[in-house]
Amino acid sequence: MNIQRTTRKALIIGCGIAGPVTAMLLRRIGVDAAIYEAQPAPDDYAGLFLNLASNGLEVLSTLGLDSQVAVEGFAAPRMELWNGSGKRLGVLRNGAAEGQGPVSVVIKRGALHRILREAALAEGVPIHFGKELTDIQVSSDGTVSAYFADGSSATGDLLVGSDGIYSRTRQLIDPQAPQPSYTGLVSSGGFAEGVGLAPTPDTQHFIFGKRAFFGYLVKPSGEIYWFNNHEHPGAPRRSELEQIPQAERRRRLLELHRDDQPFINAIISATKGEIGMYPIYDIQRLPRWRKGPLVLLGDAAHATSPSAGQGAALALEDALALARCVRDIPELDRALAAYEGLRKARAERVVRFARARGSNKTTSGPISRWFRDLTLPFALKHFANPRSLDWLYSYKLPWDEPVTIAARA
């Protein structure tokens, strides 16, 4: 495709999930891209795990990375739902209908970061660590200069902020941008062994406990990935929760699940290493995703609750959409406008969907729990329709198709 290009170099802020993928896709269309990450060095053991849904794996297939991620992850196309007493409430699919897309996987966050980072390096993408963004300046000719806390700087034609929910890029694009909104829930989790539970092939299990929500899967090796969502007052910051000692975290979680199925507390007790604890925030609507040659993607633009398992997939969709628009629309301002037009409504819909799912995870009082257990199986019948979740999981942005005027509207 012979199109005159005005974008020669891109500065990517953030080396999480979307950053390396954006850089690789931009390099494939002839745009040099370099990544600048605030952390001093990569940490392939940081964080817990995440759901990488079919629509996200579709993007990685463009780069030939879907099979590598699938091997590293745990195939999880089904979600089985229970109440705290062991009553089965129903089943949901997690991903595209059979034969309509890749199988969703659950993967350790650090492992996914490593795969994407190593792939970017193999394609010649420079990755600079210890680069905490402090300021951005745009010159009269449109050149972007990024300034970092260590005194260094970098210049380019495009700056992409993929620097997460507390994005410095977002603050610089719009100092009045809405702050992330607390969902009312805190997520905890970890990895356990030695409980003796049978493997759960292709399935994650979710339990609506009496005081908290619990999810787990058991790998063939016996290793258990688990998480808990529970209500927490106020609007805690992650730094506040990090001050809670590990023994106290464990004690609180055991107390929350004391009246649920005993194996839940057995999993918590058998956890190896630290139990992570994170407040869940989202960004329900961001008025401005771009300003001049500056643009946001991923959590920086539309952080979503993990309740829909779509955070990583949405960010990967963003990366592909942005690269296609830059490839097919020579004028950068129009390309970024097209990207925002392609992505904004969908992202906001997914954030709303995830927030609604999260709001149903905890209930107060036996009557509310009884009503939930009575009505939830009927609600699940709607989602059992093979087409009901196609909008979420079967969404595709074909790399080989040009961005059309209709798609940009």
Of 249, 282, 315, at which residue does a domain stop?
282
Q: CA-CA distance, 50 to 177, in Å (whole number)?
A: 27
Q: Is residue 208 part of a domain?
A: yes
- Which domain covers residue 215, as residue numbers? 181-282
Instruction: Classify residue 91: in a domain, yes or no.
Output: no
Confidence at residue 393, expressed as pLDDT on a 0 to 100 scale: 93
Instruction: Specify whether 68 is located in the same domain as 134.
Output: yes
Question: Which secondary-structure segment (H or E) carries 13?
Answer: strand 9-13
Same domain, 160 and 216: no
Q: Are residues 243 and 310 in the same domain?
A: no
Q: What pairs with residue 207 in β-bridges? A: 82, 214
Are both 306 and 239 inside the same structural domain?
Answer: no
DSSP H helices in 29-183: 54-62, 66-72, 109-122, 168-173
Please check whether residues 149 and 175 belong to one and the same domain: yes
What span, in angstroms and rounded, lies between the C-alpha atoms of 186 and 217? 20
What is the CATH number for 219? 3.30.9.30
Beta pairing class for 213-218 and 181-192: unpaired
Furthest CA-CA distance within the chain: 65
Within-domain flag for 157: yes
In a domain, 38, yes or no: yes
Distance CA 123, CA 116 (A): 11
- The reply to whether 164 and 298 lie within a common domain is yes
Tell me the pLDDT tens digit for each residue of 71-106.
999 999 999 999 989 999 888 889 998 888 899 999
Q: Decide if 68 is inside a domain.
A: yes
Report the length, in residues, of the chain.
409
User: In the chain, which stretches have pLDDT less than 70?
Assistant: 1-7, 361-386, 405-409
Instruction: Please indicate, yes or no, whether residues 32 and 20 belong to a single structural domain of this protein.
Output: yes
End of a domain among 282, 306, 326? 282
What is the spatial distance between Cα 298 and Cα 347, in angstroms, rounded to a whole number? 9
Give yes or no: residues 60 and 173 share one domain. Answer: yes
pLDDT at 43: 85
- C-alpha–C-alpha distance, residues 297 and 257, integer Å: 37
What's the confidence (pLDDT) of residue 389? 84
The pLDDT of residue 362 is 66
Q: What is the 3-state secondary structure (H, E, C) of 260-283?
A: CCHHHHHHHHCEEEEEEEEEEEEC
Are 167 and 200 within one domain? no
Q: Please check whether residue 243 lies inside any domain of the structure.
A: yes
pLDDT at residue 3, rounded to an integer = 37
- Which residue, of 257, 282, 307, is where some domain finishes? 282
Whose tokens are 């199986």? That residue is 377
Residue 230 has a pLDDT of: 95
Rounded alpha-carbon distances, angstroms, from residue 365 to 211, 229, 257, 372:
9, 17, 15, 11
In a domain, 404, yes or no: no
Residues sharing a CB contact under 8 Å with residue 406, sequence separation 6 or more, in sequence order? none
| Strand ranges of the sheet holding 127-129, from the earlier edge strand across to the other edge | 127-129, 32-37, 9-13, 158-161, 294-296, 290-291
Q: Which residues pair with 181 in a beta bridge?
A: 282
In this structure, the answer to whether residues 151 and 296 fall within a common structural domain is: yes
Q: What is the CATH number of the domain that holds 339?
A: 3.50.50.60
Q: What per-residue confidence (pLDDT) applies to 350?
A: 96
Q: Is residue 341 part of a domain?
A: yes
Domain count across the chain:
2
pLDDT of residue 359: 72
DSSP letter for each residue of 198-218: PP-TTEEEEEE-SSSEEEEEE
Say yes or no: 186 and 171 in one domain: no
Do 44 and 144 lie in a common domain?
yes
Q: Are 24 and 34 in contact (CB under 8 A)?
A: no
